[in-house]
Amino acid sequence: MKRIRKEHIGISVDHYLKKRQFSDGTESGPQVKPEIIKVHDMSLAQAMRGQEALAAAIAFSSLNVEAVDIQFNRLKNFVLDCEDSLQTELRSLLYPLFVHTYLELFCNGHKNQAHKFFGRNQSQFKSISGVQNMLELLQNLASEQDVLASQSIREFKEHKFIVSLSDMATEYLFRFLKSEDNTWMLQLCNRFIHIHTSQEDASPQVDDPLLVGNGGGQLWGEVAKPAQTSQANKVLGDRLKKSIVRVRRLRPCAPSVCFYTFMNAYQGLCCCDMSPDKGVMSAGFEDSSVRVWSLTPSPLKAEAAEVNVSRVNLAGDFIEDEDLRAPPVQAAELIVMRGHSGPVYSVTYTKDSRHLLSASEDSTIRFWDLSTFTNSVIYQGHNYSVWDVDMSPVGDFFASCSMDSMTKIWSTDRTFSLRSLSGHLTDVNVVKYHPNGTYLATGSSDRTVRLWDAQQGQSVRLMQQGHKASVCALAFSPCGKYLASAGEDYDVLVWELSTGSVCKELKGHTGIVHTLAFNEDSTMLASGGLDGTLKIWEVLKDGTENNNIAGEDLLTSFNTPATSIQFLRYSKKGILLAAGGQIQS
């Protein structure tokens, strides 16, 4: 009997728990792993639950019409019996509590009791200026749809009513609310009223309290002063604008520099370039080799090439399938690529960092596949040494310049040139594409700089009154308005492309300048060359006057360990990347 009785009790308990939707701890099933919640998310969830609980406190509480009426009358009598100083402050609470009490009764299905409550208490507020329209709207309500249709009533419910009370009045009020059963009044105060406390007397300076409305709610008993506030905001705005102007006039801060040094470059370092993804560094040497270094902890890994380009098979050779494939290249930090028959004077990467272009004394340009580290294409068209090559920022085009005084435009999928630009009298030493890819600039040993239209193949600017020797370096500003040039006269010139005139002359180098680079916002220019110094200049700003005083535009100068600086580029984060070679004696 005891066992049967215990079983009946257990079944009853289980039935009750299931009815209340309690889970059985002994159930076997997939267990849910505990979820890791961040502290920020937990705090946000708690705050949201707190707001929801506050909004639902009245809706889920039992609404006793008689208790509500008793609590409101008790609070009204308490306020009217206070001292004059406190009564003036606390009376500002009665009007919002009256309106919200009426609306809660009306919206919860007690329309008759709500109208009776309104009729008994409306006489207390008719003498207040500015509330007659609200009282008329409340008196004419017939259904809950009227509450939603009235914009004034809807805004009154959605925005908290701001009441200013002194510390003494606030303490006196809450002491009364907590002393007796005033739960409904406390809920209304917490949900619909924001009490602003101050140590000074918050009583109004006029006999009749004022009701001032704003977009964030209602303000009771305070006279607004819009004129003084707007004037103060205007003064603060003017000060802020002047501060911004002063900050913009300050000289820019010098950047951080990350310098890569080619130690013991006995092979004769001619040029170098870094891939756009900053993963590898390539350099051309006088021994006709192109060397690639990994700039990451991971070594360079080459995929197996389909064809062994390093071997020429004759008709009489016995060829096996393994002989047709290139031997695998072992993973290493340095990989040497050979193919040119003369010094390599320029290297540049494609936009995707997967291929490399190199220009050499053998009058050819080679296209290298960095996945296999083999030569894929040879571009022939120049008659003499190719001094420089540059990749277009738009499309698969690139430009080359040569000792034959010609500049050619190529496409990576064509082995012949698309355009030939002639105009210089002697060697074209350097070529650079404009940021929009439509124009390109060339610098020559005839001491001139030309701007070309890449689509038409015509010269649109000739900048010849500036340099006193060969031009060896060019750089466009990212904004596209300026072009910097430098060369064997040790000077750096900044040209304004719209007029073709010099707007800045920067002096300070003691050797040939090989490379130039603008920062991202076109306010600073970096230069480096054979003197082993890296100089940072402040370039011309919009709206400033021309100033060619030597040394005034120099922000800073770095003495590098390199014998010659061959590469400069600003990263998007403002760090200056530089590279050069050093030969220890």
Q: What is the dihedral of CA 301, 306, 308, 314, to 10 degrees?
A: 170
Q: What is the pLDDT of residue 578?
A: 95
The class (CATH top level) of 257-304+324-582 is mainly beta
CATH classification code of 53-224: 1.25.40.500
| C-alpha closest to that of 421 among 386, 450, 388, 385 | 450
Predicted confidence band at 480 (pLDDT cuts at 50, 70, 90)? very high
Mean pLDDT of the chain: 80
**Using a CB cutoff of 8 Å and minimum separation of 24, what contacts does 364-368 make?**
364/340, 365/389, 365/400, 365/410, 366/339, 366/340, 367/412, 368/290, 368/337
- Average pLDDT for residues 471-489, to the nearest whole number? 94
pLDDT at residue 139 above 50?
yes
Q: What is the pLDDT of residue 301?
A: 85
What type of residue is 190?
N
Q: What is the pLDDT of residue 195?
A: 81
pLDDT at residue 44 above 60?
no
- Between 89 and 545, the more confident residue is 89
Q: How far apart are the first and last CA of the chain?
A: 107
- Average pLDDT for residues 397-406, to the nearest whole number? 95
pLDDT at residue 129 above 60?
yes
Determine which of 145-149, 205-209, 253-257, 486-490 has the lowest per-residue pLDDT on average.
Answer: 205-209
Predicted confidence band at 550 (pLDDT cuts at 50, 70, 90)? very low
Q: What is the pLDDT of residue 427?
A: 94
- Between 102 and 443, the more confident residue is 443
Instruction: Name every residue whose Cβ is closer than 8 Å to that of residue 226 and which is 6 or more positions away in sequence.
Output: none
- Between 176 and 502, the more confident residue is 502
The DSSP result for 245-272, as a single string, is HHHHHSPPPPPPEEEEEEET-TTTEEEE
What type of residue is 548?
N
Using an 8 Å Cβ cutoff, are 271 and 318 in contact?
no
- Average pLDDT for residues 348-354, to the nearest whole number? 93
Looking at the chain, which residues constitute the CATH 2.130.10.10 domain(s)?
A: 257-304+324-582
Using an 8 Å Cβ cutoff, are 576 and 256 in contact?
yes
Looking at the chain, which residues constitute the CATH 1.25.40.500 domain(s)?
A: 53-224
Q: What is the pLDDT of residue 546?
A: 45
Predicted confidence band at 80 (pLDDT cuts at 50, 70, 90)? confident
Percentage of residues in the chain having pLDDT higher than 70: 78
CA distance 583 to 84: 94
The β-bridge partners of 218 are 161, 213
Q: What is the pLDDT of residue 424?
A: 93
The tens digit of pLDDT for each residue in 375-387 reads 999 999 999 999 9
